[in-house]
A and B are shown apart, each in its own frame.
Chain A
Amino acid sequence: GESVGLHLPTLSVQEGDNSIINCAYSNSASDYFIWYKQESGKGPQFIIDIRSNMDKRQGQRVTVLLNKTVKHLSLQIAATQPGDSAVYFCAETLANQAGTALIFGKGTTLSVSS
């Protein structure tokens, strides 16, 4: 079978390493997905999004991969920096349905040491 990354509640990396954060989503009908970064005492901050008609999207130092077959998302952060330390959440929703909630996955705490 296909190997899918496991969700880890915490991830510790060295500065300069690449980080991969995994997330399983719950609703096979979800068609819009967002990764958020949340620092202590702050609200979630948008990182990158992807729609269900795509399987990969790249931003600045970040890449999101979507595997609809197994309902899995991953966030890849290149050359991780200490400022990337935070809790990361994936979220799913229906793009065109009014009143639909953002459903958040289990967060991953990323710790970057220099």
Chain B
Amino acid sequence: DAGVTQSPTHLIKTRGQQVTLRCSPISGHKSVSWYQQVLGQGPQFIFQYYEKEERGRGNFPDRFSARQFPNYSSELNVNALLLGDSALYLCASSPSAGGGYGYTFGSGTRLTVV
């Protein structure tokens, strides 16, 4: 079985640019969550989508947006990139809207903003 897949694996962008990151959840999982992990810290929650609706949002500026498609894959968009957006962006999938059945993480997209 394929796990959670994320693309691209690495990305370099310039300040002010926009970026789109992609995630495909485990087959049968309807929930996708996005996390930002800055070097040396634990992941921080950005969004959760379930059945194509936003169900939760973390403390991130409006420059961050996401959506979920009918096949449950998801995109994370970040506009007007700042140097501080450099991080590992992780996608996690879950079979339910609540977290009680666990979350499976992908390997992440390493974003570097220069």
Which residues of A are at the interface with B, using a C-beta cutoff of 8 A?
A: 32, 34, 36, 41-46, 49, 51, 89, 91, 93-107
A contacts with B: majority SS: loop
Q: Report the contact-size class of chain B (Cβ under 8 Å from the partner).
A: 20 to 34
Known: A42-B107, A94-B98, A100-B98. 5 other contacts (CB 8 A): A44-B43, A95-B100, A97-B99, A101-B56, A107-B42
**B residues near A105, Cβ cutoff 8 Å:** 42
Write out the residue numbers on chain A whose beta carbons fall within 8 Å of the beta carbon of B35: 102
CB < 8 Å neighbour of A46 from B56, B100, B104, B106: B104
- Decide: A104 near B55, CB < 8 A? Known: A43-B90, A99-B97: no
Residues of B within 8 A of A (CB): 4, 33, 35, 41-45, 48, 50, 54-58, 88, 90, 92, 97-100, 102-108, 110
Most chain A Cβ neighbours within 10 Å, of B4, B35, B103: B103
Task: Name A43's contact: one of B42, B54, B102, B106 (CB within 8 Å).
Answer: B106
Residues of A within 8 A of B103 (CB): 34, 46, 102
Contact status B100-A32, CB under 8 Å: yes
Q: How far is the CB of A53 from chain B (nearest CB, A)?
A: 12
Indicate if the CB atoms of B90 and A96 lie closer than 8 Å.
Answer: no
Complex A-B: 5 CB contacts under 8 Å: A94-B98, A95-B100, A96-B100, A100-B56, A104-B42
B residues in contact with A51, CB < 8 Å: 100
Task: Say yes or no: A43 contacts B108, CB within 8 Å.
Answer: yes
Q: Are B99 and A94 interface neighbours, CB within 8 A?
A: yes
Minimum distance in angstroms from B93 CB to a CB of chain A? 11
Say yes or no: A43 contacts B55, CB within 8 Å.
no
A93 to B, closest residue via Cβ: B99
Are B50 and A45 neighbours in the complex by a CB distance under 8 Å?
no
Given contacts A34-B103, A43-B105, A44-B105, contact A101 B48 (CB under 8 A): yes
State in angstroms the CA–CA spacing of A43 and B89 once bound together: 9
Using Cβ atoms and an 8 Å threshold, which residues of chain A touch B106?
43
